[in-house]
Amino acid sequence: MVTAKTQARGMEKVCRRSLKLVKSAMRQKRRYSLVNGIGDNNNEQVLSDANKVLHMVELESKNGSNNIKPGVERPDMIALQETKSKIIDEEWIEEVWGSRNFGYVQKEDNGISGGLLLVWDSNIFVYKHGIGDERFVAVKGERKGVDGDIFFVCVYGPHVGQQKTFLWNRLLNLMEGGNEAWCLLGDFNDVRSEEDRKNT
């Protein structure tokens, strides 16, 4: 008998492996984009690596390791940080996403680091407005099943204290300007308390 705790552990393993494969795919993508430019035929290896994530999740689902239904359930939204890419083309996103039903915003890198990509299922989320800067991209819209507008934000937090304060103040000012719901995704490079530092 599979308990909820066993299922949760299995899902954590899938997520950790998935994250490693996505990071590997992004490293490969960066390598190819720096040498050959995004969108050419040499991105086939990158696409292959990224698709391993979906294939692995589907295999684990068939083995009963998690609750994801193969070929049926997909994420509504993904947020990638440190893409280290200039412009990511729609063909690459479509190949990774698995269909044409997506919208996206991106912030290109600043030379040797940075880059943000936020992709969503256009059947679930209807884009209205986007904002951002070097450290975040945010989209406002309507999400199926949620009353009122919602902001989804892809954040890549700075490591330097003063820059962290500036980023959080900027986001707080945006949040206080309206009554929308907010969902922040990403790598904040920050902790709320010393307890959060355990196992990091």
Q: pLDDT band at 87, cuts 50/70/90?
A: confident
Q: In what order do the strands lie in the sheet with 77-81?
A: 77-81, 116-121, 102-107
Name the CA radius of gyration of the chain, rounded. 18
Confidence at residue 111, expressed as pLDDT on a 0 to 100 scale? 80
My answer on whether 170 and 113 are in the same domain is yes
Single residue among 40, 73, 106 that ends a domain in this structure? 73
Among 45, 73, 101, where does a domain finish? 73
Amino acid identity, residue 101? N
Beta-bridge partners for 118 = 79, 105
Q: Are 168 and 113 contained in the same domain?
A: yes
- pLDDT recorded at residue 71: 54
Query: Same domain for 136 and 159?
Result: yes
Average pLDDT, rounded, for the chain: 74
Note whether 199 and 106 are same-domain residues: yes
**Residues 63 and 100 reside in one and the same domain:** no
Of 55, 127, 121, the residue nearest 94 (C-alpha): 121
7-52 tens-digit pLDDT: 445 445 444 554 454 545 544 444 333 333 333 333 443 344 444 4
The per-residue pLDDT for 24 is 52
Q: Tell me, what's the pLDDT at 4? A: 46
**Is there a single domain that holds both residue 92 and residue 68?**
no
Say how far apart CA 106 and CA 118 lie, in whole Å.
Answer: 6
Return the top range by mean pLDDT from 5-9, 35-39, 69-73, 191-195: 191-195
* 65 and 122 inside one domain: no
Cβ atoms of residues 157 and 189 within 8 Å: yes
- For the cut 60, the answer to whether the pLDDT of residue 153 exceeds it is yes
Q: What is the DSSP string of 29-89?
A: HHHHHHHH-TTSGGGHHHHHHHHHHHHHHHHHHHTTSSSPPTTT---SEEEEE----SPPP
In terms of domains, do 61 and 122 share one?
no
Say yes or no: 91 and 24 in one domain.
Answer: no
> Is a pLDDT exceeding 60 seen at residue 178?
yes
Q: Which residues contact 57 (CB under 8 A, 6 or more apart)?
A: 14, 18, 66, 68, 70
Task: Residue 2: give the domain boundaries.
Answer: 1-73
Residues 34 and 101 occupy one common structural domain: no
Split into its structural domains, the chain has a count of 2
**Can you give the pLDDT at residue 8?**
46
Q: What's the confidence (pLDDT) of residue 126?
A: 97
Amino acid identity for residue 87 in this structure: I
pLDDT (mean) for 63-82: 69
Is there a single domain that holds both residue 190 and residue 174?
yes
Q: Which of 73, 101, 119 is the last residue of a domain?
A: 73
Per-residue pLDDT tens over the stretch 103-147: 999 998 888 788 999 999 999 999 999 999 989 999 999 999 999
